[in-house]
């Protein structure tokens, strides 16, 4: 039986192959990037990340890979996020997925003491991704929120 992720990959590959604007030099790179993105989802799933969050991450990563115009952009879209904190602000890469950065913080935080800026970033991403307020996040039980691929 074909999984939702495999189906998403087939759709992305089909879109890639029928797009006359896609440079042939990036075809192989993008095909490998699609598989790399799916493999990352499998790793995140093994680490306990919610399936609905993973579905959104994969969908967004595949779209970013399709949109990428250079090998560097494909690489940035297919790899885990590398958030940069500089002089009090977090810099977001346009070829990075906020939901994936949230998943990374969820994997890292249980076993590491996060600095105050890292804690703030984690909370900010959580509230943005799940559409809840900081008050809901810090006071009482969280509402049951399910993410869906757009």
Among the listed ranges 30-34, 78-82, 139-143, which one has the minimum average pLDDT value?
139-143
**Distance between CA atoms of residues 121 and 105, nearest Å:** 9
In Å, how far are 69, 76, 82, 116, 133 from 72, measured between CA atoms? 8, 6, 14, 32, 35
* Contact predicate 128/99, CB 8 Å: no
Average pLDDT rounded to a whole number, residues 76-95: 92
Among 66, 56, 77, 64, CA closest to 150: 56
pLDDT tens per residue, range 8-25 = 999 999 999 998 888 888
Report the C-alpha gap between 148 and 134 in whole angstroms.
Answer: 21
- pTM for this prediction: 0.90
| % of the chain exceeding 70 in pLDDT | 94
- List, in order, residues 6 or more apart from 10 with CB less than 8 Å away: 2
Q: pLDDT by residue (tens digit) across 96-141?
A: 999 999 999 999 998 899 999 999 999 999 889 988 888 877 777 7
CA nearest neighbour of 65 among 99, 108, 31: 31
């Amino acid at each position: 039986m074909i999984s939702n992720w495999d189906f998403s990959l087939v759709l992305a590959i089909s879109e890639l192959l029928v797009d006359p604007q896609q440079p042939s030099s990036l075809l192989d790179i993008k095909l490998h990037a699609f598989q790399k993105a799916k493999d990352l989802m499998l790793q995140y799933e093994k680490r306990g990340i919610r399936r609905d969050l993973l579905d959104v991450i994969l969908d967004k990563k595949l779209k970013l890979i399709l949109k990428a115009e250079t090998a560097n952009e494909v690489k940035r879209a297919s790899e885990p996020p590398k958030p940069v904190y500089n002089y009090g602000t977090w810099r977001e890469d346009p070829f990075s997925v906020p939901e994936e950065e949230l998943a990374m913080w969820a994997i890292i935080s249980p076993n590491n003491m996060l600095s105050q800026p890292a804690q703030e970033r984690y909370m900010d991403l959580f509230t943005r991704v799940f559409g809840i307020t900081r008050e809901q996040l810090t006071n009482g039980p969280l509402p049951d929120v399910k993410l869906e691929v757009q």
